[in-house]
A and B are shown apart, each in its own frame.
Chain A
Amino acid sequence: AIQMTQSPSSLSASVGDRVTITCRASQGIRNDLGWYQQKPGKAPKLLIYAASSLQSGVPSRFSGSGSGTDFTLTISSLQPEDFATYYCLQDYNYPLTFGQGTKVEIK
């Protein structure tokens, strides 16, 4: 199975900060990667698919990049509603595997 290593596991940031989260795959996965946001008690929400495509309705401050083994989710200007946990998911092959998650907290 492909291992997805996500970092950092948590970070503290202020409103307006630029935030970057990374995900590394144990083997090449082309651009078959998605990013999710999850708030407490809620289902995950798809933000980015195919590594860099913005899901409909998601604010443009979210962006994704990368291909192969290294991927990045960037929030250009952190907003109060962005404090949440973020996960990556590779859908290159089965079994699908998630990163461990990154909790974004208020500084």
Chain B
Amino acid sequence: QVQLQESGPGLVKPSETLSLTCAVSGYSISSGYYWGWIRQPPGKGLEWIGSIYHSGSTYYNPSLKSRVTISVDTSKNQFSLKLSSVTAADTAVYYCAREVVNFDYWGQGTLVTVSS
């Protein structure tokens, strides 16, 4: 069974960098597929942040592209998200997910609050 688990700080100060990691079990990232990050501000809808292939090629949401970096570590079977210069508008639940045809497996999500 494929499982994904997000981890990282739950509180980030404004202007700093949000960093999250998604650990994958039950499937080797090296075997293929894209792996994505999605976020959901409290009480709002879902927003795709970006996706990465096991080879490292990436796609980003243009609205966040200047601040986002997604990377993959196949040796640890995990991928990561960095979002720089955060503001209160980046407060959200952040999900990682496997992208096959649409997103078929999701992590449980982690709430990141941007506040001083």
Binding site for B on A (CB under 8 A): 1, 34, 36, 38, 42-46, 49-50, 53, 55, 87, 89, 91, 94-101
**A86: shortest Cβ distance to chain B, in Å?**
11
Question: Do the beta carbons of A44 and B51 come within 8 Å of each other?
Answer: no
Binds A, one of B13-21, B23-31, B81-89, B100-108: B100-108
Which residues of chain B are within 8 angstroms of A36 by Cβ–Cβ distance? 46, 103
Query: Could you say which of B47, B99, B103 contacts A44, with CB atoms under 8 Å apart?
Result: B103
Q: How many A-B residue pairs have CB under 8 A?
A: 56
Q: List 29 A-B contacts (CB under 8 A).
A: A1-B62, A36-B46, A36-B103, A43-B97, A44-B46, A44-B103, A44-B106, A45-B106, A46-B102, A49-B102, A50-B101, A87-B46, A89-B103, A91-B101, A91-B102, A94-B51, A94-B59, A95-B48, A95-B59, A95-B60, A95-B61, A95-B62, A96-B48, A96-B51, A97-B48, A98-B46, A98-B48, A100-B45, A101-B46
User: In the assembly, what is the distance between CA of A89 and CA of B47, in Å?
Assistant: 10
Question: Do the beta carbons of A43 and B107 come within 8 Å of each other?
Answer: yes
Which residues of chain B are within 8 angstroms of A45 by Cβ–Cβ distance? 106
